[in-house]
């Protein structure tokens, strides 16, 4: 009798135990409330089987793994220069080999000025050395006291150890004012050269600004330094004379754009970008170019390429007219009014016309004076 009584009592708890286990199973399996992750957009939901759910979970896991890999690749591509990451040369035209394996700290600087030049431009280089670019001990002092680095930037010829390369080596031994690039020289390779220059400069100097100027442009160093000094608080500064010229589709014209179709209908203009005679970019923008050099597209025109690299970024386009004054009388009148120009050239020639002879006249009539740079505060 006692055994039967015990059995009856235990049987009373069976419904409660069943309900309890049902609730616990629902909570831990999530099958009652959580719908299938990947489902058609039908309002009618089909009951999911165990095999369906296992398949969807596997798909989700694979998607997460794919996202993790993509995120890791982005971290590598966007890693700042100077990190322990090794950048390898995978560009046959000369991606920056000097960026590979840099363990020593870069030299601090205020600005790096790269003067774009060519093998045939020896007389232009000499005219700059005789006018606005300090020489010898003064060049070294400018780096030491003012943090201003000035170098002629040039790559190498298509033929190894050619007479052209040896001539530059000899000239550099005399003046010590070149920055040699891992780049094959050519007029139609200016976009690649600009990218290589920025990457090489970033690899060698930790500067606040990086400037590119052509070798037929006159520069007042003190004015340029003071001007850039105003924008130290703007980490994403893109500085120059902003323009938006027409996209030229005809092959017979100068500055023809082979990829004109990317810019819409015929007759459209480019996006706003700094003219190529002279411009400056801040440290953060230069680091961005260096870190992403292998995935930045190059257009036919170098200044367009640079402007395209910053589209989609929170960049401040600073349109500075002082960086594109005309030659006398324009720059002379401004100099006499106490507002010397940072840079001067002729728009009609995309530089100073007959610069070898004329740049000396521009320097005499529009130059700020050799002493200004040494007393400039920035």
Q: Which residues of the chain have pLDDT under 50?
A: 1-11, 27-46, 57, 68-69, 71-73, 75-77, 79, 81-102
In contact, 295 and 259? CB cutoff 8 Å: no
Question: What does the block give as tokens for 227?
Answer: 């001007």
Statement: the pTM of the whole predicted model exceeds 0.85: no
For every residue of 172-222, DSSP letters joined together read HHHH--EEEEEEE--GGGHHHHHHHHHHHHHHHEEEEEEEEEETT-EE-HH
Task: Tell me if residue 274 falls in helix, strand or coil.
Answer: strand
Q: Classify residue 189 by its DSSP letter.
A: G
In contact, 206 and 82? CB cutoff 8 Å: yes
**What are the two backbone dihedrals, phi and then psi, of residue 136, each rounded to the nearest 5 degrees?**
60, -130
Q: In this structure, is residue 254 part of a structural domain?
A: no
Structure confidence by residue, pLDDT tens digits, 313-353: 999 999 999 999 999 999 999 999 989 999 999 999 999 99
Q: In this structure, is residue 246 part of a structural domain?
A: no
Task: Tell me if residue 182 falls in helix, strand or coil.
Answer: strand
pLDDT for residue 72: 41
Determine which helix (DSSP H) or strand (DSSP E) holds 105, and give its type and residue range: none
Q: In this structure, is residue 67 part of a structural domain?
A: no
Q: In this structure, is residue 66 part of a structural domain?
A: no
Q: In this structure, is residue 40 part of a structural domain?
A: no
Question: What does the block give as tokens for 145?
Answer: 């006291």
Q: In this structure, is residue 307 part of a structural domain?
A: yes
Domain that holds residue 139: 107-241+276-375
pLDDT for residue 15: 52
- Is residue 241 packed enough to be buried (19+ CB in 10 Å), middle (13-18) or exposed (0-12)? buried
Determine which helix (DSSP H) or strand (DSSP E) holds 163, and give its type and residue range: helix 163-175
Q: Classify residue 351 by its DSSP letter.
A: B
Give the total number of structural domains in the chain. 1
The domain that contains 117 carries what CATH number? 3.90.550
Q: In this structure, is residue 63 part of a structural domain?
A: no
Structure confidence by residue, pLDDT tens digits, 31-42: 444 344 334 434
Q: In this structure, is residue 335 part of a structural domain?
A: yes
pLDDT for residue 42: 44
Question: What does the block give as tokens for 28?
Answer: 């831990």
pLDDT for residue 49: 52
**Among the listed residues 159, 263, 148, 131, the one whose alpha carbon sits nearest the alpha carbon of residue 209:** 148
Share of the chain above pLDDT 90, in %: 61
pLDDT for residue 377: 81
């Amino acid at each position: 009798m006692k055994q039967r009584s015990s059995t009856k009592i235990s049987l009373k708890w069976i419904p409660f135990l069943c309900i309890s286990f049902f609730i616990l199973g629902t909570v831990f399996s999530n099958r009652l409330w959580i719908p299938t992750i990947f489902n058609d957009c039908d309002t009618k939901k089909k009951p999911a089987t165990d095999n369906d759910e296992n398949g969807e979970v596997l798909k989700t896991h694979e998607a997460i793994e794919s996202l993790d890999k993509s995120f890791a690749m982005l971290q590598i591509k966007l890693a700042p220069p100077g990190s322990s990451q090794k950048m390898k040369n995978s560009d046959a035209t000369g991606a920056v080999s000097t960026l590979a394996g840099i363990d020593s700290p870069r030299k601090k600087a205020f600005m790096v000025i790269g003067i774009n030049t060519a093998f045939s431009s020896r007389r232009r280089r000499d005219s700059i050395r005789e006018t606005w670019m300090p020489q010898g001990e003064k060049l070294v002092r400018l780096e030491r006291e003012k943090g201003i680095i000035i170098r002629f930037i040039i790559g190498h010829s298509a033929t190894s150890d050619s007479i052209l390369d040896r001539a530059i080596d000899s000239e550099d031994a005399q003046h010590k004012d070149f920055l040699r690039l891992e780049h094959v020289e050519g007029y139609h390779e200016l976009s690649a050269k600009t990218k290589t220059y920025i990457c090489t400069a970033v690899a060698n100097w930790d500067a606040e600004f990086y400037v590119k100027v052509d070798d037929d442009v006159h520069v007042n160093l003190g004015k340029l330094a003071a001007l850039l000094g105003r924008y130290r608080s703007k980490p994403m500064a893109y500085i120059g004379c902003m323009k938006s010229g027409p996209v030229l589709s005809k092959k017979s014209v100068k500055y023809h754009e082979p990829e004109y179709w990317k810019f819409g209908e015929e007759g459209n203009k480019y996006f706003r970008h700094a003219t190529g005679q002279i411009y400056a970019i801040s440290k953060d923008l230069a680091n961005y170019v260096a870190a992403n050099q292998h995935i930045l597209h190059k257009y036919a025109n170098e200044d367009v390429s640079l402007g395209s690299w910053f589209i989609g970024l929170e960049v401040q386009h600073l349109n500075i007219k002082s960086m594109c004054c005309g030659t006398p009388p324009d720059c002379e009148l401004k100099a006499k009014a106490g507002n010397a120009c940072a840079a001067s050239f002729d728009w009609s020639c995309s530089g100073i016309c007959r610069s070898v002879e004329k740049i000396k006249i521009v320097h005499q009539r529009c130059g700020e004076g050799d002493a200004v740079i040494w007393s400039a505060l920035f």
